[in-house]
Structure 1
Amino acid sequence: MLIDIFHDTVCPWCRIGKKHLFDALDQIQQPVNIRWHPFLLDNTVPASGYEFRSFMRTRKNIGETELQQMFDYAQKAGEAAGVKLDINKISLAVNTTLSHQLIAIAPENIKNDIVEAIYKAYFEDNLNLGDIEVIIAIGTAHQLNPTELRRQLTNDAAVDKILAESIFARLNNITSVPFFIINNQVKIDGSHSREVFVQALNRATLLETSSKIW
């Protein structure tokens, strides 16, 4: 089974959706190949980041009360899913390009672990994903060579590829994340529940089986 996941690493709903999907995969016990795709929510953020709460108030065009309600809602949804989202601890809105480069670089056997480590770095440890030292530290913790990693992360062509993939997603009518495509046929827009993902996975399996019969 092939699953394409479009996400951004500072999107709490992407982390929730990932958890629901992986819980569903554990339930149906099928071999799966996951491809991670960048969807940059705001690539104008500098590497140093912006003050988080003021950035989010401006981005959402809401006041502090509404902002806190939005954060509380996402945090409770994370708790229900079994993931930690310490949103009140976050101090910076960050540029996520480097984090997506690390995911692209990571070998397939650790790619999912790298994604989770990046989510943890932002939502639990309040780290700046736009800081190359933070990204190298995540990669090094997963046995990637720091010297080679730095060379790859500072490659302009690699940066351009992330930007191009993010633009490509929008040109193909993906307007929000998380967004999942199963076996190039079944699409799920949003985080949803484990049960919804189980139904989608079963439907994708049925469609694949039917296509082979015919």
Structure 2
Amino acid sequence: MSALPDRYDVVIRGKPEGPFSLDELRGMNLLPTDFVKPAGQPEFKELREIAELSNLLNIPYQTTRPQYFATLDMRLLATAMDYFIAFCIYAVLAAIYLGGTSNAKESVPTLLIGLVIVPCTKFILCVATEGSKKQASIGKMLIGVKVTDEQGRPIGYGKALGRNLAKLVGIATLGIGFFTGFFDRRQQCLHDKIAGTLVIKDRLI
């Protein structure tokens, strides 16, 4: 069992207060639905959602399905950031290639063909990062959203691969598959429905 943090913040009458020690939490008669977070962490959760802490405070552990979903504009921004990062990697490789050639003009076709590196790099980075403990590509991390399964759990590398491969369906439908999220309560695009994933954001207090 991992070590629990020593101090916690608690939302009291709508305002974050603390930090409090574990002993202080025991004397506060907290409810399962009270919002708590380790001091210094960004996101509050209901006490019943934090397994080890709820057990110590004699509160039944209960998972809560995701309730706050990333909007399509947030997702598009994250995608743009991911492509920019992939393009920067391509630019570095192109600069190295040009540095080793004597005829820049003859290198233009090779550089144009090499642009395929950009979507491939973006694909690899998304699978590697969304399947990791971070649960988010670099772009998603920067704007504070992450990818989960429909119960809010990490998706792992297998489901991350399936999710990103399913984006080909959105491309095949000329983008319609991506914009179906506008009409979905959970903002699920077609590739999310195929893979059984969600893109969620931190709850607001």
Same topology, TM > 0.5: no
Normalized against structure 1, the TM-score is what? 0.27
Larger radius of gyration: 2
Normalized against structure 2, the TM-score is what? 0.28
Which structure has more helix as a fraction of its residues?
1
